[in-house]
Each structure stands twice: as structure tokens, then as C-alpha cells.
């Protein structure tokens, strides 16, 4: 059984003690494997003894044993559909699934489970609000304000909704260090603004955006705020009440949880007023041959068989990272990104994107090695069992703004170490010598 004491000496020292990373790593089976072998047969075995260095957490984090066990226990012991039966297994599954909503509401400071909708991922959450609210409420002359650092989940979704409704999409500029130009934000957000959709933490730049300040600007003009928290919730405390957002979304697979599960937070009054996005079983109250009425929140938005095992496992993942301590995880990531940037800055041929070292930023470092395409760099680093990301990271317009088609990205989490950062730098040097 996981206990906080296994990681930190006591609750009272959590704010000052460093994470026991070596102990934490024991909870993640995949971190103990070597990389190699036949990629067409996953887990077939290594060709050599090269231990995995996993630095692609911005795409997907790894999963601790207890979360894997939560999924296995559901399927082994009480696999059944929810809200559909009066037999014991169905009631047991329903209780656990509903409790998961309560747990996630508590985790992000929502008022209750009514404000927590389980969906597949952050992208689906964005589409749910864009189609359920945007198609009905937006029209010619209305504006949706985004930022130049938006993930395609936000940018493409609102772009397409604007085409369907005649609304305009406008973008808050970023400065040369990858921070939002808040003067420009104050110019853009005005009486015609209906929605401000902004990423909380950039998945490329590591920039942490001032969501509460943007929410104040939006609410001054009676517009709504949707924050994409996919890169924020896994590694820093988030309270939707303090941020004063109307909608907030994040994905389970970036926070030690399973794939196929995400969370949409919405203010209860707004979710009550919005029509469902999907229709079918369990989201209805009454149906006849002419019409239908909708179920209570949040089930109104969870049509069909929902992600039961995934929701239960996400609650377990939430317990796991909460017991370690979100402040401790944030501090650990900050230490790692500071160390990584300091190491990378030792070389004149590496360009780092985003706010400079020493400023508040997330555990993401995107960079390019002069003369080496990011994809080539990632491929060479894979030979040293270092897993990073390469490409546009679903931010093509941002990369165009940065003047590059792609970047390499190392992203850190609670189980990464400074020794792994050193291995990253050594692998970059291998690529440098190969292309010299």
C-alpha cells in the first residue's frame, strides 16, 4: 500500500524535503526495462543493456503499479456497466465510478461532481464546449480570443467553429521570450469577445500563462474563459475557483493515469444551460417518439457506456500524485528544468525556446541543435535509449512564429533525475559528433 511516509519523512517537512525519486521510480515498472529488440513485438526484449531514459512526459507520463492494479481489480472483481443494473457488481462499479467524479472535483477545487465530466481527453473536452456552446451562441461579429501558443486542440477546434458560425478568431501575441503580451491581450479582449480559450501551460515553451488575470479581463466584458490544463494539472496545484475559469480541461494520461480518460470542468450553471454534444443511452431522463429530456449533471454529457475502468484508475492516479504532494512535484520539475537548461546553455549550437532560465516555467524544454533536424536528433538519441519528442508538438502556427518547422522536446516528471539530464546531454553530443 502506498503511503506518503514512504516518499517523504512527514507531512510537516513536505515543503522543504526533496522527493525520494529512487523510491518513487520503484512504483513504475516500465522505468526498469531496457530498450531495444523488435519494436514490432512490444516488450520482446532488448538487444543490449541500455536502460530507458524517459523524457517524453509532456506527451504521456508513465503509470505506477497501483494505478495498473486499480484497472486490473475492476476487471477481475467488479466489471459491470454503471447506472444500468440493481445487481451487486453494477452497484459496486457505479459507486466507484461516481466516487471518481467526487475525487477529481476535490482535486481541482470544483464545487462538486456535477461540474466534472469524464471524456476521452482534453481535445474532446474542447470540442464538446465548442460544438455544444459555440455553434449555438457564436455568430458574425463575435470573437473568440486564443493565443499564438495554442495547441491544435484549441486552435483548430475554434477555427472550424468560427468558419461555421461566421465568428472571428483573434490571437494574443507572444514576446521574444515566449510569454504572452498582456498589453495585446487587453487590446483584443473587448465587447465583441465571447470566449477566451487559452492554454494554461505551453507544451512547447513551458510558459505558465496568467489564467486568473485573463479571466478577469474576459469577465469584464461578459465573456467566458476555457483553460487547457493538460500540461498544468499533472505538475502544479490547480484550483479552478481561484483561477475563476468557466471551463477547464485536462487528460489522465499525462498525470500517471490511463489513456482514454480526461476531465472537463464546467461551472454548474453553464453546464446546465448547454445542450449535450453526444446523444444516446444514460444521458437521457425521458424519451418518447417525439422528443427527449436530459439526465442530471454530469451524466447529461456522458452518453453510452462511459470510461469506467479509466475513471476509477484516474482517481487512483490522483490519490497517488496528491499523496506525494503537488507542491513537491512542481518544485522537483522546476529543479530539473533549471538544471537541464543550464546544461544545454553550455553549448553555443543549441537554441532553447521559451522563457529564460530562472523564470517560472514548467518542466518542458524545447530546443534545436544547429544543423540537425529535430527528428534526426530524436532518432539518434533513441539509439542511446533516450526518449524525447520531436516535431511541431501540435503547434504548427507557433513553430512558424518561432521560425522553425520542428523542435526537440525533453519533458520531465516526478520520477526523472539529474543523472538522466546528463544522459540527455551526452546523447545530444553523440548527435553533434555524428553530424560534424
Enzyme catalytic residues? 394
Give strand pairing partners of 409. 366, 389
Burial of 49 (0-12, 13-18, 19+ CB in 10 A): exposed
Say if strands 389-391 and 224-228 run parallel, antiparallel, or are unpaired.
unpaired
Phi and psi angles of residue 99, each rounded to the nearest 5 degrees, phi first: -65, -30
Sequence length of the chain is 436
Q: In terms of Cα–Cα distance, which of 118, 101, 151, 99 is closest to 264?
A: 118
Local structure of residue 130 (DSSP, 8 states)? I
Spatial separation of the C-alpha atoms in residues 136 and 120, rounded to whole Å: 23
* Strand-pair partners of 53: 386
Residue 230's closest CA among 175, 148, 150, 116? 150
The DSSP line for 99-123 is HHHHHHHHHHT-S-GGGEEEESSHH
Using left for φ > 0, alpha for ψ between -120 and 50, and beta otherwise, residue 102 falls in alpha
Contact call for residues 146 and 154 (beta carbons, < 8 A) = yes
Distance CA 220, CA 304 (A): 38
What are the CA-CA distances from residue 351 to residues 233, 408, 424, 427 (Å)? 28, 10, 15, 16
Residue tagged 481527453 (cell numbers) = 121
Query: Hunting for cell 489513456 — which residue is that?
Result: 259
Angle between helical axes of 326-344 and 308-324 (0-180°, round to 10): 80
Other CB atoms within a 10 A radius of the CB of residue 432 amount to 18
Q: Could you identify the residue written with the cell 503537488?
A: 326
Amino acid at each position: 500500500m502506498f503511503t506518503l511516509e514512504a516518499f517523504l519523512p512527514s507531512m510537516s517537512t513536505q515543503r522543504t524535503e526533496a522527493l525520494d525519486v529512487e523510491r518513487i521510480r520503484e512504483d513504475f515498472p516500465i522505468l526498469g526495462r531496457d530498450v531495444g529488440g523488435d519494436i514490432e513485438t512490444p516488450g520482446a526484449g532488448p538487444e543490449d543493456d541500455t536502460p530507458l531514459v524517459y523524457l517524453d512526459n509532456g506527451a504521456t507520463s508513465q503509470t505506477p503499479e497501483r494505478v495498473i492494479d486499480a484497472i486490473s481489480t475492476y476487471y477481475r472483481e467488479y466489471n459491470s456497466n454503471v447506472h444500468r443494473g440493481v445487481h451487486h457488481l453494477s452497484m459496486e462499479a457505479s459507486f466507484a465510478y461516481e466516487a471518481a467524479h467526487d475525487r477529481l472535483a476535490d482535486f481541482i477545487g470544483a464545487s462538486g461532481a456535477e461540474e466534472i465530466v469524464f471524456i476521452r481527453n482534453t481535445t474532446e473536452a474542447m470540442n464538446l464546449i465548442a460544438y455544444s456552446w459555440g455553434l449555438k451562441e457564436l455568430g458574425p461579429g463575435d470573437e473568440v480570443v486564443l493565443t499564438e501558443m495554442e495547441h491544435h486542440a484549441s486552435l483548430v477546434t475554434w477555427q472550424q467553429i468560427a468558419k461555421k458560425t461566421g465568428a472571428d478568431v483573434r490571437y494574443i501575441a507572444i514576446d521574444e521570450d515566449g510569454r504572452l503580451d498582456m498589453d495585446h491581450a487587453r487590446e483584443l479582449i473587448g465587447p465583441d469577445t465571447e470566449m477566451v480559450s487559452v492554454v494554461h501551460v505551453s507544451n512547447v515553451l513551458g510558459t505558465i500563462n496568467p489564467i486568473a488575470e485573463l479571466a478577469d479581463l474576459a469577465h469584464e466584458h461578459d465573456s467566458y474563459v476555457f483553460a487547457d490544463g493538460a500540461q498544468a494539472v499533472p505538475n502544479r496545484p490547480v484550483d479552478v475557483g481561484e483561477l475563476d475559469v468557466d471551463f477547464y480541461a485536462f487528460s489522465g494520461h499525462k498525470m500517471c493515469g490511463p489513456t482514454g480518460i480526461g476531465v472537463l470542468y464546467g461551472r454548474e450553471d453553464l453546464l446546465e444551460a448547454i445542450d449535450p454534444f453526444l446523444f444516446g443511452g444514460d444521458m437521457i431522463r425521458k424519451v418518447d417518439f417525439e422528443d427527449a429530456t436530459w439526465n442530471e449533471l454530469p451524466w447529461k454529457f456522458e452518453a453510452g457506456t462511459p470510461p469506467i475502468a479509466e475513471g476509477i484508475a484516474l482517481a487512483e492516479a490522483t490519490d497517488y500524485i496528491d499523496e506525494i504532494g503537488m507542491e513537491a512535484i512542481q518544485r522537483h520539475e522546476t529543479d530539473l528544468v533549471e538544471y537541464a537548461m543550464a546544461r544545454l546553455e553550455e553549448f553555443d549550437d543549441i537554441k532553447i525556446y521559451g522563457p529564460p532560465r530562472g523564470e517560472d516555467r514548467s518542466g518542458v524544454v524545447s530546443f534545436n541543435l544547429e544543423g540537425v533536424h529535430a527528428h534526426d536528433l530524436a532518432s539518434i538519441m533513441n539509439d542511446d535509449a533516450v526518449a524525447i519528442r520531436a516535431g511541431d508538438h501540435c503547434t504548427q502556427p507557433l513553430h512558424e512564429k518561432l521560425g522553425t518547422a520542428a523542435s526537440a522536446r525533453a519533458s520531465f516528471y516526478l520520477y526523472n533525475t539529474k543523472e538522466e539530464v546528463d544522459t540527455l546531454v551526452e546523447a545530444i553530443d553523440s548527435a553533434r559528433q555524428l553530424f560534424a
